[in-house]
């Protein structure tokens, strides 16, 4: 669970950095997207890098969901009798991990159909990801949906980072406060990096070029 979570975090960091290239301009953003599709050419086939990333993410997703299911089953077997007087206090991020995960899956599917397959994209122009992104977030409803889903993802990451550090043996009574602060700061900065793109487009700071 922790290791696959780290794989996702590394991908999200790289994805966020790539997204921020939209502020450099249309040419640089589209060139970056083209590089992702053609990295290693002509020695390697088209989309080699993207395909490798996709395979790693699909395997990690399967292992992540499988681990979550196994942990839930173990927890239920370990405590067949429900808590008397309600469950112990939990953070909001912890309480919403499962429901949040469902929304994240829906978001990922929509995101792929929107900006990768261009099925739902208002422009859906092949080879022009910059205009596709701008067209998306000119629609306030799409922007609101993305913002809500990214905030949920942030809560998921916050709890996931804290849990992963505990699983990997970095947690202790002395370190709990520092780990909690790190988890909050990390998730906030990461999600802010994603949010700044749709919000900048929605408020007219990034436009068609």
Triad 166, 170, 175: Cα angle to 5°: 95
Contacts of 94 (CB under 8 A, 6+ apart): 159
Over range 85-108, report the average pLDDT: 71
| Among the listed residues 110, 103, 139, the one whose alpha carbon sits nearest the alpha carbon of residue 122 | 139
pTM: 0.86
- CA distances 204 to 65, 137, 201, Å, are 39, 10, 5
- Give the pLDDT band (50/70/90) at residue 89: very low
What per-residue confidence (pLDDT) applies to 189? 97
Write out pLDDT tens, residues 130-166. Answer: 999 999 999 999 999 999 999 999 999 998 888 887 7
Write out pLDDT tens, residues 65-87. Answer: 898 888 878 877 776 665 554 45
Domain boundaries, the chain: 2-202
What per-residue confidence (pLDDT) applies to 173? 65
Contacts of 56 (CB under 8 A, 6+ apart): 7
Structure-token pair, residue 18: 């790539």
Write out pLDDT tens, residues 5-62. Answer: 899 999 999 999 999 999 999 999 999 999 999 998 888 899 999 999 999 999 999 9
């Amino acid at each position: 669970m922790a290791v696959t979570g780290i794989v996702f975090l590394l991908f999200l960091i790289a994805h966020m950095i790539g997204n921020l290239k939209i502020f450099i301009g249309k040419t640089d953003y589209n060139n970056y997207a083209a590089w992702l599709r053609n990295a290693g050419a002509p020695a390697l086939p088209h989309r080699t890098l993207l395909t490798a990333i996709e395979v790693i993410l699909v395997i990690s997703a399967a292992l992540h969901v499988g681990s979550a299911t196994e942990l839930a089953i173990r927890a239920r077997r370990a405590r067949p009798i429900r808590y008397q007087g309600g469950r112990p206090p939990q953070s909001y991020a912890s309480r919403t991990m499962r429901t949040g995960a469902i929304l994240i899956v829906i978001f990922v599917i929509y995101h792929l159909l929107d900006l990768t397959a261009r099925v739902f994209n208002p422009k859906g122009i092949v080879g022009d990801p910059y205009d596709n992104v701008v067209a998306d977030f000119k629609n306030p409803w799409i922007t609101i949906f993305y913002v809500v889903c990214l905030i949920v993802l942030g809560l998921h990451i916050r709890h996931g980072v804290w849990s992963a550090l505990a699983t990997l043996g970095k947690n202790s009574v002395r370190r709990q406060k520092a780990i909690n602060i790190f988890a909050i700061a990390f998730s906030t900065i990461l999600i802010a990096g994603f949010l700044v793109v749709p919000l900048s487009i929605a408020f007219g700071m990034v436009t068609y070029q």
